């Protein structure tokens, strides 16, 4: 199997709030610069789009990243999402977080 283009990193204490008609809370299992995998009771289909706030623990405390995401894969264990929109500031926050882990 070829290596992933965008390396995913497992997350210990990651949480996200997703907005799709109402608020849902999800637990982040892994994250990359391109997307994340979340478990939640939200009902989605592939290509569903939503706003989300991602909360990650770093050495300097909790960071919050706001994004728009699209469901790419829905399975029994959770939802794979890719970022549809991540502004420059949020992108840099995520990049810094991931760089410290690698």
- Of 46, 34, 47, whose CA–CA distance to 83 is shortest? 34
Is residue 74 scored above 80 in pLDDT? yes
Which pLDDT does position 45 carry in this prediction?
93
How far is residue 102's CA from residue 97's CA, in Å, rounded to a whole number? 9
- Of 48, 53, 44, 52, whose CA–CA distance to 78 is shortest? 44
Mean model confidence pLDDT for the chain: 89
- Across the range 2-18, mean pLDDT stands at 79
Q: Kindly report whether the global pTM for this prediction surpasses the value 0.85.
A: yes
């Amino acid at each position: 199997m070829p290596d992933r283009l965008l390396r995913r990193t497992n997350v210990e204490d990651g949480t996200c709030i997703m907005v799709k008609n109402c608020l849902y809370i999800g637990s982040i299992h892994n994250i990359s610069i391109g997307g994340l995998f979340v478990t939640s009771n939200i009902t989605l289909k592939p290509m569903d789009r939503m706003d989300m706030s991602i909360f990650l623990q770093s050495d300097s405390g909790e960071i919050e990243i706001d994004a728009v995401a699209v469901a790419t894969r829905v399975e029994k264990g959770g939802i794979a999402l890719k970022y549809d929109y991540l502004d420059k500031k949020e992108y840099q926050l995520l990049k810094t977080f991931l760089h410290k882990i690698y």
